[in-house]
Amino acid sequence: MKQMRIILSILFLLTFAVSQAQHPIAFFNNADIVAVKSGINKYPLLTQSFNSVKAEVDAYLGKSVDVPFPKDPAGGYTHDRHKNNYMLMFNSGVLYNITGKVAYATLVKEMLLKYAVLNPTLKNHPQATSASPGHLFWQALNDANWMVYSGLAYDLIYNSLTPTERTTIEDGAFKPEVDFVTKDLKTWFDLLHNHAVWACAGVGIIGIATNNNDYVEMALKGSDKNGKSGFIAQMNHLFSPDGYYTEGPYYVRYAILPYILFANALNNTQPGLQIFKHRNNILQKALLTCLQQTNLDGTFFPLNDDIKDKNYTTNELVTAIDIAWKAYGPNEGLLTVAKKQNRVILHRGGADIAAAIATRKNIPNYFPYKTIESTDGINGDEGGVSVLRVGKNDDLTSMVFKYTAQGMGHGHFDKLNINLFDKGNEILQDYGSARFIGIEQKYGGRYLPENTSYASQTIAHNTLVVDEESHFKGDSKLGEAYHSEKLFSSINNPNIQYTLAAENNAYPGVAMKRGIYVIVLPNAKKIVVDLFNVNASATHQYDLPFQYKGQFISTNYKYTANTKKQETLGTKAGYQFLWKVASAQVKDTVAQFTFLNKQSYYTVSSLIKGDATILFTNTGANDPNFNIRTEPSMIIRKSGSNECFVNVVEIHGNYDPVNEFSSNSYSSVSAINLLENNQDYTAVAITIAGKKLQLIQSNKDFSTTATHQIKNNQINIKWVGPYTVLYDGKSF
């Protein structure tokens, strides 16, 4: 018996030694730790990042950290405390491995032991408002965040714990949370959605940290382990083949973190999976596509539910870029962004980036932005997004043309929507989402009711509204059944970039087709020509909004301003939030509206054939809680069945407020003529500074080798391919 006990003790010690040898492994391994330690005194950015993390954690050493019973929504004390706690545990665990200071491991241990007491007692959060409530937080998504970072923290201090402490933490802190998300919230865990990416990563990382293969298998293959859901399915279904995430760049910014963190852990523990190579390097493509869909200041293009202040210096992209640097190798664009982030994670990738920044000269000031067309859908056949760019550096102009699928739960009703950015400024804007994230006073930091009733409605965007009703009647389930379609694009000529897309399902019996041209004329002037055709068998009211950002300067037509009394523009579909501040009746003219944004002028020149109403609006009606930002728009309203909206957006002039100097503040567009418009062709002539710009497009034959000809009393042109553009009679 005594001999058996000795043998068992030896076996236990051997097992303990093996387990010690394989931890830490989820965030980094021993070789990574050596690389970080050796670089801390060499590379200033790594030194700075280390000192920053150390200062934050050191403030808690030797103190009892509160692990409160959860009661507050986002922005409240308990919410923020638990959020801070999981980052504190993670950072303290990292410092333990870098410094060897036991106090850091003790801090993590004591906090996890408190969670081991708290978590088994928790029911649904008292502030929960959705079908996926959390325990520690108001929504399960935040619980999944806690699982990711707490699991990493546990792995980081695993070797410092006794077997009894491990059992207590694994059974008390982790098991209740894993059971909660995989059993009680099984349907949510098995969704193909960014929330479930976090949940899978949380369960998987905890599985790696606790040596629980059952957890890892559920994370990879779904709660039933059949592969229909789980992390691999998320990688296969949430991205198009070129890396576009259907909910938009703001949400891939959020989802890329659990993708990258769990992939990093899997790469360390199961290198045979080759997870970073999965689906032709899909995570690398997702990261680079996300970065291409940002403005010069790093803010994400506001597609769908976007918080417009969020940019690529966010913690999620710091982590993703640093780990991607190790996984995929050096990348100059990532280096530019990392320099602006001005911090790195304490990981091998972060150390390597810090080394590159310290040793490289002439790191570019701007990410290498370029024209990019991204497909949507698993197979890349559900529409997409074009970002047409001209200029470079601080003179970059970007036209975003969205013809995607609905975008799941965070999608907006904005088929064929456009947004314009110039010199780093938002010119034709998108509202983004109605949410004050992390501010408890504003609906607990959750999405405001106005997110649904206004921000996602079609009138809040720069695309056509029919009969004051949003696309798909504002029904996201109906919208999910359809997608817009790109008909043709040409992006190889830097002076003429063109995309034509169609939407035939947003309104029954109404077909929409929009062609966007971004043109740099031979005199270097930049213009956007917008040809929006709508065809219907019945008569409708058509509203085409331009949500502009800037100061109203002038119009070339008379309007009536409602200075003493205002009324709302409508009663539903977002119209109820718009004050009608001015209106004009126009007929058979080119209506011009000029506004100033920062130091440049922008003029929208609109061809008006027949009668039309031009409306100027401000948001703010029916908003007693002042939840919506006050923002202006100009709306062209026409009635008819078949209409062609021709608009030219011109970038011109300069305003110097310091020296009180203004130049070229007037538009140079003097005439717009619709030369032909039918099911086969649309042809337009625009007179700019006395010279004629002609654009002719095929509306149904998009062969690049087909020969076309239009011959009437206004035009006689023969060309090859889907379109042609002539300036002063010549191609350019």
578 to 86, 459, 562: CA distances (angstroms): 43, 9, 13
Tokens for 35?
A: 């690389």
At 14 the pLDDT is: 38
- Per-residue confidence (pLDDT) for residue 130, from 0 to 100: 84
- Indicate which residue of 251, 454, 507, 601 is catalytic: 251
Residue 196 has pLDDT above 60, yes or no: yes
CATH code for the domain in which residue 420 is found: 2.70.98.70
Q: Is residue 6 part of a domain?
A: no
Q: Are strands 632-640 and 540-546 parallel, antiparallel or unpaired?
A: antiparallel
Decide if 580 is inside a domain.
yes
DSSP per position, 352-408: HHHHHHHH-SS--SS-----EEEE-STTS-S-EEEEEEES-GGG-EEEEEEE-B--G
Cα distance between residue 354 and residue 343, in whole Å? 8
Q: What is the mean pLDDT of residues 640-653?
A: 97
Domain identity same for 30 and 96? no
Residues 6+ apart with CB under 8 A from 565: none
Q: How confident is the model at residue 714 (pLDDT cuts 50, 70, 90)?
A: confident
Of 316, 345, 368, the position where a domain reaches its end is: 368
Q: Are residues 40 and 106 in the same domain?
A: no
Residue 214 inside a domain? The answer is yes
Q: Which of 210, 237, 264 is the last residue of a domain?
A: 237
- Residue 14 domain flag: no
| Cα–chain center distance at 324 | 19
Mean pLDDT, range 307-314, rounded to an integer: 93
DSSP 301: P
If asked whether residues 494 and 393 sit together in one domain, one would say yes
What does the pLDDT average to over 407-422? 95
Instruction: Please tell me whether residues 352 and 413 are part of one structural domain.
Output: no
Written as six digits, the tokens of 373 are: 């067309």
Domain shared by 378 and 357, yes or no: no
Tell how strand 560-561 and strand 578-597 pair up: antiparallel
Q: Are 457 and 650 in contact (CB under 8 A)?
A: no
- What tokens does 417 get? 């929507």
What domain range is 101 assigned to? 68-237
Q: What phi-psi label fits residue 383: left (phi over 0), alpha (psi between -120 and 50 degrees) or beta?
A: left
- Residue 593 falls within a domain, yes or no? yes
* CB 398, CB 389: distance < 8 Å: yes
Residue 64: burial class (beta carbons within 10 Å; 0-12, 13-18, 19+): exposed
**Which pair of structure tokens corresponds to residue 220?**
């990879």
State the pLDDT at residue 445: 83
- With DSSP H G I counted as helix, E B as strand and the rest as coil, what are the percentages for the chain, rounded to 5? 40, 30, 35
pLDDT for 584 equals 98
Same domain? For 438 and 458 the reply is yes
Summarised one tens digit per residue, pLDDT across range 69-91 is 999 998 899 999 999 999 999 99
Please tell me whether residue 146 adopts helix, strand or coil conformation: helix
Residue listed under structure tokens 């405390």: 81
Which has the minimum average pLDDT: 336-350, 435-449, 562-576? 435-449
Among 221, 237, 253, the domain boundary falls at: 237
User: What is the pLDDT of the chain when averaged over all its residues?
Assistant: 94
What pLDDT is attached to residue 20? Answer: 41
Please give the pLDDT value at position 331.
95
CA distance linking residue 477 with residue 145, whole number of Å: 28
- 448 and 505 part of one domain: yes
Query: Band of the pLDDT at 10, cuts 50, 70, 90?
Result: very low
pLDDT for position 409: 82
Average pLDDT for 648-657: 96
623 and 688 Cβ atoms separated by less than 8 Å: no
pLDDT in tens, 489-537: 999 999 999 999 999 999 999 999 999 999 999 999 999 999 999 999 9
Structure tokens at 674: 């619709």
Q: Quick one: 494 and 416 in the same domain?
A: yes
pLDDT at 547: 98
CA distance 509 to 537: 7
**Do 266 and 255 share a domain, yes or no?**
yes
Half-sphere CA count of 600, side-chain side, radius 13 A: 19
Provide mean pLDDT across the span 238-253. 93
Q: Is the pLDDT of residue 12 over 70?
A: no
- Name the residue among 129, 549, 470 with its Cα closest to residue 302: 549
**Which residue of the set 410, 540, 652, 708 is catalytic?**
410
209 and 271 both lie in a single domain? no
How far is the C-alpha of 36 from the C-alpha of 352, rounded, in Å?
9
At 307, list the tokens: 């918080």
Structure tokens at 637: 């309203």
pLDDT, one tens digit per residue, over 621-639 is 999 999 999 999 999 999 9
Is the pLDDT at 19 greater than 80? The verdict is no
Residue 1's pLDDT band (cuts 50, 70, 90): very low
- Return the closest-CA partner of residue 241 out of 133, 351, 381: 381
Neighbours of 489 (CB within 10 A): 21
| Residue 418 resides in a domain | yes
Whether 43 is catalytic? no
Model confidence band, residue 689 (pLDDT cutoffs 50, 70, 90):
very high
Largest Cα–Cα distance of the chain, in whole Å? 109
Cis before 24 (ω within 30): yes
Q: Report the number of distinct structural domains present in the chain.
A: 3
Q: Write out the DSSP string of 41-93.
A: TT-HHHHHHHHHHHHHHHTTTTS----PPP---TTSHHHHHHHHHHHHHHHHH
C-beta atoms surrounding 316 within 10 Å: 20
Among 390, 639, 638, 412, which Cα is nearest to 495's?
Answer: 390
Contacts of 116 by beta carbon, 8 Å cutoff, 6+ apart: 168, 169, 171, 172, 173
The answer to whether residues 470 and 453 touch, using CB atoms and an 8 Å cutoff, is: no
Lowest mean pLDDT among 21-25, 114-118, 581-585, 708-712: 21-25
Residue 5 domain flag: no
pLDDT, position 437: 85
203 with 306, same domain? no
Residue 136 exposed, middle or buried by CB count within 10 Å (0-12, 13-18, 19+): buried
Identify the CATH number of the domain in which residue 86 sits.
1.50.10.100
In a domain, 108, yes or no: yes
What is the tens place of the pLDDT at every residue in 203-243? 999 999 999 999 999 999 999 999 999 999 999 999 999 99
Same domain, 538 and 565: yes
Is-catalytic flag, 666? no
Residue 15 above 50 pLDDT? no
Tell me how far apart the alpha carbons of residues 484 and 499 are, in angstroms, rounded to a whole number. Answer: 13
Task: State the virtual CA torsion across 319, 322, 326, 328 in degrees, nearest 10.
Answer: 90
Query: CA-CA distance, 570 to 677, in Å (whole number)?
Result: 32
Average pLDDT over residues 99-127: 97
Q: Residue 189: its pLDDT value, please?
A: 97
